[in-house]
Amino acid sequence: MHELGIMTGVIDSVKTAALDVGATRLLKVTLSVGEMTEAVDTALQFAFEALCDDDPFTKGAELEVNMIRPKSRCLECGAVYEHDRFSMFCPECDGFVTELIAGREMQIDSIEVDLPDDTEE
């Protein structure tokens, strides 16, 4: 499953970042995911829960996914337009020489963690 691979990578980097700041538990992760990655929101949620469940550090954490519509720029006429995964032709001039400028992202927007109240060390 495509999403399981994506999520394994996401959780790895999130955990590293959380441990770096001394967090005791991961609470929430917010992701931006471009539709061109072909990742599916519900499958990402499913993979996230399955992976988080294995580890007390991440167990019960929440995932928020913002899906990003693909956007392209026409190299013939310069129009910038949103489209779906399958039709990328320019709506202005029917050009097909286009450049994808959004829709392939897979980025971690923010994470929320539990920090210990006291730092006794």
Q: Where does this chain bind Zn ion (CB under 5 A)?
A: 74, 76-77, 79, 90, 92-93, 95
Which C-beta is closer to Zn ion: that of 4 or that of 80? 80
Cβ closer to Zn ion: 64 or 84? 84
Indicate the residue among 15 and 83 with the shorter CB distance to Zn ion.
Answer: 83
- Beta strands in the chain, from DSSP E residues, in sequence order: 25-34, 62-68, 71-74, 80-82, 98-102, 106-114
> Which run of H or E residues covers position 12?
helix 2-20
